[in-house]
């Protein structure tokens, strides 16, 4: 069943326009179908706040036909915001205390903007630790995305991310390495995932933490892993939620940083993302940009719309399937009458019954 528009968040209108099914709240109340309440801790910077929100809403809304999904976005007040972004948050987002009082079936934690190498010095560090401590005791399952994975691996498992010599950036092929887990049930055994990060948690670190690796790449390492019980914590180093044009937006941002003198080197292409024809278009743009900068002329318009027309999305269907499996699993192990971590009679150390298989 679809997402439920339980408030006037603009994302609901945007998703309706894209053809995503969004159910009005008055209609949802008259359907005899269970609800699932999913929190979205959105720590992304202002420019990416709404886009990240839409990406995860979209994945949830398309994922599973068995429930009505109420998605509750919230953020951390310690994160610095512009006046406009703060007004948006105050209007559409929910206070953390309300989230805690009403409870969640599942939680998604996004990445965040980081200044400096040490995660423990970031403004989100202590507040995030508090949210995760609460979620571990009160939420059936929490999905940590990219930087949130690195933060939780550090403060919960003592595994610090490792800086990489080059940015892991682009679209990379991955394989399912543990096909017995419900999260990867009936998904492609090999599929693509976008990545965008300067740091990594290695396979050895996941193993040392006692975590269960499900999906891995020969090129960029672990993408998907879980806590030892298979459900309480889900870790993603990649960005399966990305839109088709997300990496194009990032590339354009880096080019504009170079044009403004805020980056010394011209950005490379994201791995295996731009077709050869578009690479030629972008190389031609670089020549024009360099000439304009040398002559002191205005920066030429970036050919975003031209390039966007030919980009392929080779990851969304598998991402949708994995999230659908996640939602289905959470649905099976939570109560229908109240949101608590596990149903009576289910082993909290083995909620999926994997040891019986």
Enumerate the active-site residues.
146, 239, 241
The helix (H) or strand (E) run that includes residue 326 is: helix 316-333
Are 215 and 224 contacting, i.e. CB atoms less than 8 angstroms apart?
Answer: yes
Torsion over CA of 73, 79, 83 and 85, rounded to 10 degrees?
A: -30
Rounded to an integer, what distance in angstroms lies between the CA atom of residue 100 and that of residue 134?
Answer: 8
Nearest Cα neighbor of 236 from 191, 188, 193 is 193
HSE-CB for 346 with a 13 A CA cutoff: 20
Q: Which two tokens mark 275?
A: 């077709």
CB atoms near residue 123 (< 10 Å): 16
| E strand spans, 296-349 | none
Q: Please tell me the distance from the alpha carbon of residue 88 to that of residue 111, in angstroms, as a whole number.
A: 19
Backbone angles phi, psi at 120, to 5 degrees: -65, -15
């Amino acid at each position: 069943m679809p997402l439920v528009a339980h408030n006037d968040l603009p994302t609901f209108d945007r998703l309706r326009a894209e053809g995503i099914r969004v159910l009005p709240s008055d209609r949802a109340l008259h359907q005899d179908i269970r609800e699932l309440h999913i929190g979205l801790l959105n720590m992304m910077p202002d420019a990416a706040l709404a886009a990240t929100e839409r990406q995860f809403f979209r994945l949830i809304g398309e994922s599973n036909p068995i429930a009505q999904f109420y998605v509750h976005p919230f953020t951390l007040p310690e994160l610095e915001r512009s006046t406009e972004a703060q007004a948006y948050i105050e209007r559409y987002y929910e206070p953390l205390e309300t989230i805690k009082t009403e409870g969640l079936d599942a939680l998604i934690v996004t990445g965040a903007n980081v200044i400096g190498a040490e995660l423990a010095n970031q403004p989100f560090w202590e507040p995030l630790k508090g949210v995760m401590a609460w979620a571990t005791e009160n939420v059936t399952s929490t999905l940590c995305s990219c930087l949130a994975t690195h933060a939780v691996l550090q403060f919960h498992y003592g595994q610090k991310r490792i800086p990489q010599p080059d940015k892991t950036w682009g679209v990379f092929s991955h394989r399912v390495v543990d096909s017995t887990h419900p999260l990867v049930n009936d998904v492609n055994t090999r599929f693509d995932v976008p990545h965008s990060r300067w740091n990594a948690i290695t396979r050895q670190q996941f193993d040392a933490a006692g975590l269960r690796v499900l999906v891995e790449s020969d090129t960029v390492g672990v993408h998907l892993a879980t806590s030892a019980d298979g459900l309480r914590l889900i870790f993603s180093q990649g960005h399966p939620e990305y839109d088709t044009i997300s990496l194009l937006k990032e590339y354009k941002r880096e080019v504009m940083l170079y044009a403004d003198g805020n980056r010394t080197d011209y950005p490379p292409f994201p791995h295996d993302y731009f077709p050869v024809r578009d690479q030629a278009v972008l190389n031609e743009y670089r020549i024009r940009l360099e000439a304009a900068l040398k002559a002191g002329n205005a920066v030429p318009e970036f050919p975003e719309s031209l390039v966007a027309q030919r980009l392929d999305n080779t990851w969304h269907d598998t991402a949708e399937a994995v999230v659908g499996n996640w939602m289905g699993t959470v649905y099976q192990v939570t109560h229908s009458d109240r949101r608590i971590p596990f149903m009576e009679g289910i082993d909290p150390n083995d909620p999926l019954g994997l040891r019986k298989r």
